[in-house]
Amino acid sequence: MTIREFREADWPQVWPILREIARAQDTFAYDPDMSADEAHELWVEPPPGLTVVTVVGDRVLGSAKMGTNREGPGSHVSTASFIVAADARGQGVGTALCRFAIDWARQRGYAGMQFNAVVESNRAAVSVYERLGFRIVGTVPGAFAHPTLGRVGLNIMYKEL
């Protein structure tokens, strides 16, 4: 399992992962009907941000994007997002991507990393982030319409670097 910079040749594997996640509507506040172009714009970060993929041989198991959370006086805080293919979950892919993003942000001198909208019911993600040192700063009540659970909260999470 290797993490390396995203290349355009990875897109035919990254897009279906992202599309499945957007359509499931249970972990990301993304448009479930987004086009491939919109998804590319959303996921592939121009410098100084970075998008990476986790690969085993030629297969993409997951991807992460990372960059600056806000501009100007907020630009010392980073952010990141992570996606893992449905059949590659529970194997530490997300944890490895999150560790990668933390290292990347630390090396670039960011003071912290903020996640703006972690779905409260996505226990797998919340517990990975907590294990890696993030804490829940607050939860916006009912801000995410989960397809089976109804409206659940969106956590804002933060880790100082």
Nearest-approach distance from CB 63 to a second copy, in angstroms: 19
Nearest-approach distance from CB 5 to a second copy, in angstroms: 26
- Give residues 121-160 in contact with a second copy (rule: CB under 8 A): 136-147, 151, 154, 156, 158, 160
Number of other residues whose CB lies within 10 A of the CB of residue 38:
13
The residue type at 48: P
* 8 Å CB contact between 99 and 66: no
Helix (H) or strand (E) holding 67: strand 59-68
Of 55 and 77, the one with the shorter C-beta distance to a second copy is 77
Nearest-approach distance from CB 8 to a second copy, in angstroms: 24
Name the region of 69 (left: φ>0; alpha: ψ -120 to 50; beta: rest): alpha
- Give residues 24-83 in contact with a second copy (rule: CB under 8 A): 25-26, 28-32, 34, 69-77
Nearest-approach distance from CB 48 to a second copy, in angstroms: 13
Of 54 and 122, the one with the shorter C-beta distance to a second copy is 122
- Give residues 84-123 in contact with a second copy (rule: CB under 8 A): 111-112, 114, 116-117
DSSP category for residue 75: T
Cα 50 versus chain centre, distance? 12
Q: Per this entry, what is the length of the chain?
A: 161
User: Is residue 37 classed exposed, middle or buried when 0-12, 13-18 and 19+ CB atoms within 10 A define those classes?
Assistant: exposed
Give the binding site for a second copy (CB under 8 A).
22, 25-26, 28-32, 34, 69-77, 111-112, 114, 116-117, 136-147, 151, 154, 156, 158, 160
